[in-house]
């Protein structure tokens, strides 16, 4: 029996909503693919890492935000959603907690709040992820 090795990777994306201003937090990507494009904070799930923990880690690494509440909003796995290969993303939603300092870190070049009604062009299928909860 041959050993099967999957070529599918798992990522997480986090939709951070500011309930007061009705805005969504996006990051400007520092690296390819989609370098300098706006995207949801997120990244690859590490081996032996829980999905929700990966979402919390990626959110903190890229935006400095820590949150207690993570709501899983769906799985997105259309082939070719990511030019690097077949990626399945588990998307989460959370809300900004008062008094948190948001700043770009790790592979995020910049962070910015955008009105839900006036979003820029987004990397990957992140607009589909956002629209799935609106």
Residues recognised as catalytic:
110
pLDDT means over runs of 10, the chain (134 residues): 86 95 96 97 97 98 94 96 96 90 95 96 97 91
Check: CB of residue 114 under 8 Å from CB of residue 24: yes
Q: What is the pLDDT of residue 81?
A: 94
H/E segment holding residue 127: helix 126-131
Q: What angle do CA 122, 82, 85 make, to 5 degrees?
A: 170
The pLDDT of residue 113 is: 97
State the pLDDT at residue 85: 95
Q: Are 36 and 28 in contact (CB under 8 A)?
A: yes
| Helices and strands, counts by H and E, the chain | 2, 7
Quick one: which of 59, 77, 78, 75 has its CA closest to 67?
Answer: 59
């Amino acid at each position: 029996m041959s050993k099967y090795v999957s070529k599918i990777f798992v990522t997480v994306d986090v939709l951070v909503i500011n309930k007061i201003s009705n805005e969504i937090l996006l990051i400007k990507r520092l690296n390819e693919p989609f370098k300098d494009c706006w995207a949801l904070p997120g990244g690859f799930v590490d081996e032996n890492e829980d999905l929700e923990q990966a979402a919390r880690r990626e959110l903190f690494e890229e935006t400095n935000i820590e949150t207690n509440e993570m709501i899983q909003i769906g799985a997105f796995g259309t082939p070719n959603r990511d030019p690097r290969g077949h990626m399945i993303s588990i998307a989460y939603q959370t809300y900004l907690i008062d008094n948190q300092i948001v700043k770009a870190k790790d592979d995020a070049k910049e962070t910015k709040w955008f009105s839900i009604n006036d979003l820029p062009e987004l990397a990957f299928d992140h607009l589909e992820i956002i629209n799935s909860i609106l």
